[in-house]
Amino acid sequence: MAWRQAAIAGVGASRQGKLPDETPLSLATEAFRAALDDAGISKDEVDGLLTMPGTSSPEGAKHYLAVGEHLGINPRYTGSMSMGGATAGALIQNAAMAIATGMASVVACVFADTARSHGSRFDAAAGRGDSWGIWGMFGNAANSALGARRHMELYGTTSEQLGWVAVNGRRNASMNPAAIMRDPMTIEDHQASKMIVEPLHLLDCCIISDGGVVVIVTSPERAADLRKPPVLLWGMGQGHTLQNLEAPEWWYLPHQADCISRAYRMAGVGPADIDVAQLYDNFTIAVLFWLEHAGFVGVGESGPFVEGATRIGLGGELPVNTAGGNLSESYMQGWLHVVEGVRQIRGESGDRQVADAELCLVTGRGMTLNTSSCLVLGR
């Protein structure tokens, strides 16, 4: 029996791209207006506010104060959370739990960032006092490259197979008028792009962008009276390896498999029931790991599965990242993955619509690969 005790009633995104005249608050406002309009609900009904500070937001854990003041919301339930790319899913889960317990009736989940214009750096040395920087270990690409290398050597996964994930994202983005990167990309383009941290090429890496996204969560009953068909939360999961180096298999992120199996259990479904998937793609290798962790393929089998981008393409057995993802649509740290999941379930994705999409898996991960969250969206 699926959980289905909360619903996504509205999604809204600001313009995406390089928006030097905007601030995180102005972009949050633009996205909030769009989400209210999408839901057909008044701001006065919003009594819950959950926020994720962007890389360019200075407020940290007090971010909700700035957003609430700016949007004129005095909620009965609020807070901010920073779990990187797992935050979108985690905040929507918090909102759903607040709805189910009656602590709030309409919760706005808010993210905005001006990472592109603000010049946010994603290349700091990770680690603690005995910093990894003394070994030249910098940046987010390297963390994912470590997993990619071991996957390649253990299972024969190739750089070209990773490239098909990028090509798939770009092909889908080309059908998405709101996507930033819409020019065609071939597998040859991917292979010819410069190396960043081997085995990852430039086109294995997501883009950096400015933008905002708001997701409005309410009860299934309230959602049924609003403008759009409710998208129900069938299942939700989290999994984390907060220790990284202390965890022997950290490179493979086994907590992601736990995260998804928890959501499947809550939804009463399995991988064969999923019609379309929005898989967090900060780097192409992430999609391969998700395919294995979600049980779409066995351990080590994701490389051949993505080859040619046919099975993961539109019309394939499991269309993936149908709006373009972090790689080509916009780097909204997974928030646009939720938006596209909602649109697929509503049947609103236009040329990118997956026929009869009844269940969508949306995943997110972040913080040096330590955190993960996922949602199973349905009707």
Partner 1 sequence: MNAATGLSADPAEAVLPDVTDLNRPFWDGCAAHELRLQACRPCGHIRYPISEVCPRCLSADYDWRPMSGDGEILTWVVFQRGYQPTWAPLVPYNVVLVQLAEGPRMFGNVLPLGRTDLRIGMPLRVAFEDARGGVTVPRWTTVSEGSAVA
Query: What is the nearest approach in angstroms of partner 1 to the Cβ of residue 192?
Result: 14
| Single residue of 21, 177, 245, 315 touching partner 1 by CB under 8 A | 245
**Phi, psi angle pair for 22, to nearest 5°:** -100, 160
Cβ atoms 269, 359 nearer than 8 A: yes
* CB-nearer residue toward partner 1: 204 or 340: 204
* CB-nearer residue toward partner 1: 61 or 195: 195
State the sign of the Cα–Cα–Cα–Cα dihedral 271, 348, 187, 192.
negative
280 is catalytic: yes
252 is catalytic: no
| Single residue of 102, 136, 177, 315 touching partner 1 by CB under 8 A | 136
Does residue 145 belong to the site contacting partner 1 (CB under 8 A)? Answer: yes
| Single residue of 147, 303, 313, 341 touching partner 1 by CB under 8 A | 147
Q: Which stretch binds partner 1 (CB under 8 A): 22-30, 65-73, 141-149, 156-164?
A: 141-149
* CB-nearer residue toward partner 1: 195 or 355: 195
**Phi, psi angle pair for 192, to nearest 5°:** -85, -15
Does residue 356 belong to the site contacting partner 1 (CB under 8 A)? Answer: no
**Phi, psi angle pair for 62, to nearest 5°:** -95, 15
Q: At what angle do helices 335-346 and 87-101 cross, to 10 degrees?
A: 60
Does residue 379 belong to the site contacting partner 1 (CB under 8 A)? Answer: no
Query: What is the nearest approach in angstroms of partner 1 to the Cβ of residue 278?
Result: 27
Q: Which stretch binds partner 1 (CB under 8 A): 81-89, 127-135, 228-236, 265-273?
A: 127-135
Cβ atoms 359, 341 nearer than 8 A: no
Does residue 131 belong to the site contacting partner 1 (CB under 8 A)? Answer: yes
Query: What is the nearest approach in angstroms of partner 1 to the Cβ of residue 140?
Result: 10
| Single residue of 102, 194, 221, 315 touching partner 1 by CB under 8 A | 194
What residues contact residue 34 under an 8 Å CB cut-off, 6+ apart? 12, 13, 14, 214
Nearest to 206 by CA among 311, 49, 337: 337
Cis before 184? omega within 30: no
* CB-nearer residue toward partner 1: 65 or 125: 125
Does residue 270 belong to the site contacting partner 1 (CB under 8 A)? Answer: no
Count of residues engaged in binding partner 1, rule: CB under 8 A: 36
Q: Which stretch binds partner 1 (CB under 8 A): 98-106, 123-131, 166-174, 334-342?
A: 123-131
Q: Which stretch binds partner 1 (CB under 8 A): 39-47, 128-136, 313-321, 341-349?
A: 128-136
Q: Which stretch binds partner 1 (CB under 8 A): 83-91, 104-112, 146-154, 295-303?
A: 146-154
Q: How far apart are CA 45 and CA 379, in angstroms?
A: 23
| Single residue of 44, 60, 128, 315 touching partner 1 by CB under 8 A | 128
* CB-nearer residue toward partner 1: 137 or 175: 137
Cβ atoms 11, 341 nearer than 8 A: no
Element (H, E) at 302: helix 302-306
Cβ atoms 208, 331 nearer than 8 A: yes
Element (H, E) at 190: helix 187-192
Cis before 53? omega within 30: no
* CB-nearer residue toward partner 1: 200 or 267: 200
List Cα–Cα distances, 174 to 171, 177, 287, in angstroms. 5, 7, 19
CA angle 340, 89, 54 (to 5 degrees): 90
Helix, coil or strand: residue 85: helix
Q: Which residues are catalytic?
A: 280, 331
Sites of contact with partner 1 (CB under 8 A): 123, 125, 127-139, 141-142, 145-147, 149-150, 153-154, 194-199, 243, 245-246, 248, 250-251
